[in-house]
Amino acid sequence: MGMLPCEKEVVKIVLGVLTVLVWSGTCFAENISASFVFGDSLVDVGNNNYIISISKANYPPNGIDFGKPTGRYTNGRTVPDILGQELGLKDYTPPYLAPTTVGPMILKGVNYASGGAGILNEMGKIFVGRINMDAQLDNFANTRQDIITRIGESAAQDLFQRALFIINMGSNDFLDNYLTPILSKPEQELVSPKEFVGVLIPRYKGQLKRLYDMGARKIMVTNVGSIGCIPYSRDINSSSAGIDECVALPNDLANLFNKQLRGVLQDLNNSLKESTFVYADVNRIFGDILHNFKSYGFENADSACCRLAGKHGGIIPCGPPSKVCPDRSKYVFWDPYHLSEDANTIIAKRLIDGGIEEIYPMNLRTLFKH
């Protein structure tokens, strides 16, 4: 028996909708060629495993929801991990220093991030080993040449133009330099917050310009989150519990930096041909999560899930002696400094589909329709 006319129309509509859905999904995936990641421990996926450093996360209970410790400073995936999956990349972007990150693998992107890294080269000495932003750019220059050698300059240029470049820097320049307990007191007396940010911003602008000069065109730069609200800041400043009792100075520094960073990215967009520097306001998204944590399904937004000491679990980094909360999905923070995978997932999805108040001048979905 044949279908009735009305049934045929329904089938046409359903097939049309499915076609649009399939096309939109594959189009998004086809437009991103690779992902190149620069930054600190928030986005490190294992580079610090291969250097002599106090800052490491390649031991349990880190990675408890990833399947094993990998060097990621969280219980599961980082924001770039999630972004890559959502944008259609089949595999996680591998760490630059891993001996397996060679050959055709580099054509899908490389992660250069390092725990303890900062914009300034002198930053992070307390960790001994770390790969700061200038060194990460040097490493990308090596990858760039390897890619050109492998596929030719024209194809490499096309790959870089269609790739997503993620940069997450700045937090450590404050936490482990200007705000380091005791050690930073002399610097704070000699250099005002405005002067310190005045040193960071032009240095960062030059680094972003260098990345553009090496072929990057779609560049997402995240701002600094509310570092005065992390468990570490709450505990070392003897802050009492409570979501509205974050530490003022670290947050003031972050806000001062973020305001100037947004202007820098606008300047770069105006002056560099065919570039799209995207300002990712993770500070705003993070703030929304903290102030409305219950609406996101969290039960705790001021303490670390993986903890050993401190009222908020913010005194000692996550490690084998630490206690882990029974339900990681209920905690915004994994450890004294880093977010849980659930919080990272919220941020990643907002960067993909958020409005211009969260990611400017366009979200990642729009960026890769261009």
Catalytic machinery residues: 41, 335, 338
- Which among 59, 146, 93 has a CA at the least distance from the CA of 320? 59
Question: Cβ(302)–Cβ(308) under 8 Å?
Answer: no
Q: Measured between alpha carbons, how far is residue 348 from residues 61, 272, 292 in Å?
A: 23, 27, 17
CA distance 297 to 293: 7
Supply 165's token pair.
Answer: 């470049």
Question: Cβ(335)–Cβ(304) under 8 Å?
Answer: yes
Question: Euclidean distance between the first and final Cα of the chain, in Å?
Answer: 47
Spell 242-258 as b/e; 16+ CB within 10 A means b: eeeebbebbbebbbbbb
Q: What is the secondary structure of 67-113 as a DSSP string?
A: TS--S-SSSS--HHHHHHHHTT-SSPPPBTTSTT--GGGGGG--B--
CA distance 147 to 160: 10
Residue type, 263: G
Q: For residue 175, how far is the Cα from the chain centroid?
A: 17
Question: Cβ(333)–Cβ(251) under 8 Å?
Answer: no
3-state helix, strand, coil in the chain (%, to 5): 50, 10, 40
CA distance 206 to 249: 27
Question: Cβ(29)–Cβ(293) under 8 Å?
Answer: no
Q: Where are the beta strands (DSSP E) in 300-361?
A: 300-304, 306-307, 323-324, 331-333, 359-360
Residue type, 198: G
Supply 2's token pair.
Answer: 């044949």
User: In 3-state terms, what secondary structure has residue 294?
Assistant: helix
